Amino acid sequence: MTCIQSRLLTLLAALIAFPVWAAQGFTFDSIDGGTLSLDDWQGRPVLVVNTASRCGFTPQYDGLQALYDRYRDRGLIVLAVPSNDFRQELSTAEEVKEFCAVNFDLDMPMTDITPVRGPQAHPFYRWVAQQSGFTPAWNFNKVLIGPDGQITATFGSATRPLSTQMTRAIEATLK
C-alpha cells in the first residue's frame, strides 16, 4: 500500500466515524429579523414545528414553550415555523410575533411566515420529505432532528408537546 492510499483510507475512516451533520446549511428568515441557521445548533436536538395563530392546535404553543423550558438547559432547541399553508396564519410576521408574545409569552426561536409544503416549501421541509416521506398534513406537525442532524422522529398535529411519546423521543436525543 502506498503512502497516498494509506492516507486516503485514514481520511475515509475519519469521515465514517464522524458523519456530516445531515441538516446542515438550512437557514430561515427570523421573525426578529436576520436569519436562523440550523448549523448554529449542530450537535443539539432541534424540534421544528410548523405553527399557525388561528388553528385549533394553537394552544400547543403553551406546551412547546414548556418543552423548551424543560429541556433547553440540556440542549433542546424548539423552532416555531409559522406557516399560512393551511390558511390559518395572521397576515404579517409582526402580527404573529405580537400574538405569540401577548398570548403565550414565547421566547423560543421563531421564523418568519414560511411555506412548509408543496412546490414553494422551504428547502428544509423538502429535505424532510425526501429523507423521510413526511410532509406536514396540518399545522403543528413536528420534526425532531437529532444532534447528528438526522431526522429522529416526526409527529402529527394531535401529538401534544408534553406527551410521553414526544418527551421520550426528545430525551433519547439529549446528552
Residues classed as catalytic: 55
* C-alpha separations of 175 from 12, 43, 82 in Å: 27, 10, 29
Which residues, in sequence order, are CB contacts of 8 under 8 Å at separation 6+?
none
Rounded to whole angstroms, the Cα distance separating 168 from 162 reads: 10
Q: Is the dihedral of CA 159, 169, 22, 28 positive or negative?
A: positive
